[in-house]
Structure 1
Amino acid sequence: MEKWFNVGKIVNTHGIRGEVRVISKTDFPEQRYKVGNTLYLFMPGSNKPIELTVKTHRTHKNFNLLTFEGLENINEVEKFRDGIIKVPESQLIDLDEDEFYYHEIIGCIVATTKGEEIGKVSEILSPGANDVWVVKSKGGKEILIPYIKDVVKKVDIQEKVILIEPMEGLLS
């Protein structure tokens, strides 16, 4: 059975020419939403995906705006609202060393190099120069860990463990 990975969610339409607003959940939007790429739309309550081919892609504010081949106006895409866009595992590409997919990092246990467990990665933020991993501690506190070489010393996605060397003030 094919394994699927979330790329984004259609939250609204944009304009009248069939453009949809997507909140992206993908690590590589420029690659995922490339013109000609095939995406699969899963609507709530349905397990049968709708195959869509990207016709145009642009960013506007915090959204990715997409149009799809053969869908030229708002009436044809309105029904896609709340749909989840996914790609099959076969569309994942090999990454360089020290690059990871979000789904590989989320859920990993984070500990210091001295063996002190910090918590689990609950989400990943991409504010700019580097990603920031949100770690939920056992007490429920959120700790922000920048994904930089000075802090992240080892990532073992097989064991789901990340070792960090916290900078002064990072954990307080």
Structure 2
Amino acid sequence: MAAPICVARIGAAHGVRGALKLWTFTEDPLAVKAYGPLVTKDGARQFEVTSAREAKGHLVATLKGVATREEAERLNGIELYVAREKLPDTDEDEYYHADLIGLAAVNTANEPLGRVIAIHNFGAGDIIEIAPPSGSTLLLPFTNAVVPMVDVPGGRVVIEMPDEIEGDNPSSADD
């Protein structure tokens, strides 16, 4: 069974009647209402979106059973998941970020770099995290220039490594 997919994160309370900010990770932000109950990663808690409206970069939503600001505040930061099979199928050249976790990462010469362990977004765009066989993980921008090919059926992503990482070049402008 496929791992659940994170589709939203609960943000701060909005108003005094239990509404809250809901940051969605779906192409259509309002689609979270159609997936049925959303669950926490461990499956211990379940939430149903009863209403939602779009706001600047997020939704203002109400959840079944959350009626006060205090209740909404206690939920801040909780990530909400759905079963993979509840999501729409992807087109041939599309994929969910979760589909990339565990894939082999290779350079353009097909030499192994490691495995994809996460896709992050800290606000300035997606970052792909690769765990090499030894050493520190690699964090690279997830752009077409850096990741020119994603081959989910083939089990790999191709990474265009920068020729030179700033600070690693022994000859610098100070010479």
* TM-score bucket (shorter structure): 0.5 to 0.7
Q: Specify which of 89, 98, 114 is matched with residue 93 of structure 2.
A: 98
C-alpha contact 2:12 2:76 (8 A) present in aligned 1: yes
Name the structure 2 match of 1:31.
Answer: 28
Mark the CA change 1:89 to 1:67 in structure 2 (over 3 Å): closer, same or farther: same
CA distance in structure 1 between the aligned counterparts of 2:43 and 2:83, rounded to whole angstroms = 17
What amino acid sits opposite 1:140 in the alignment? S
CA distance in structure 2 between the aligned counterparts of 1:118 and 1:156, rounded to whole angstroms = 15
What is the RMSD computed on CA atoms of the aligned residues?
Answer: 3.6
C-alpha contact 2:108 2:158 (8 A) present in aligned 1: yes
**Contiguous gaps of at least 5 residues in structure 2:** 169-175
Please identify runs of 4+ aligned residues in structure 1 that moved more than 6 A.
Answer: none
CA distance in structure 1 between the aligned counterparts of 2:75 and 2:100, rounded to whole angstroms = 29
**Contiguous gaps of at least 5 residues in structure 1:** none
Higher strand share: 1
CA distance in structure 1 between the aligned counterparts of 2:77 and 2:142, rounded to whole angstroms = 31
CA distance in structure 2 between the aligned counterparts of 1:152 and 1:46, rounded to whole angstroms = 33
Larger radius of gyration: 2
Superposed displacement of residue 106, structure 1:
2.4
Q: Structure 1-normalised TM-score?
A: 0.67
Superposed displacement of residue 155, structure 1:
2.2
Q: Specify which of 143, 149, 164 is matched with residue 147 of structure 1.
A: 143
Q: Specify which of 57, 62, 66 is matched with residue 60 of structure 2.
A: 66
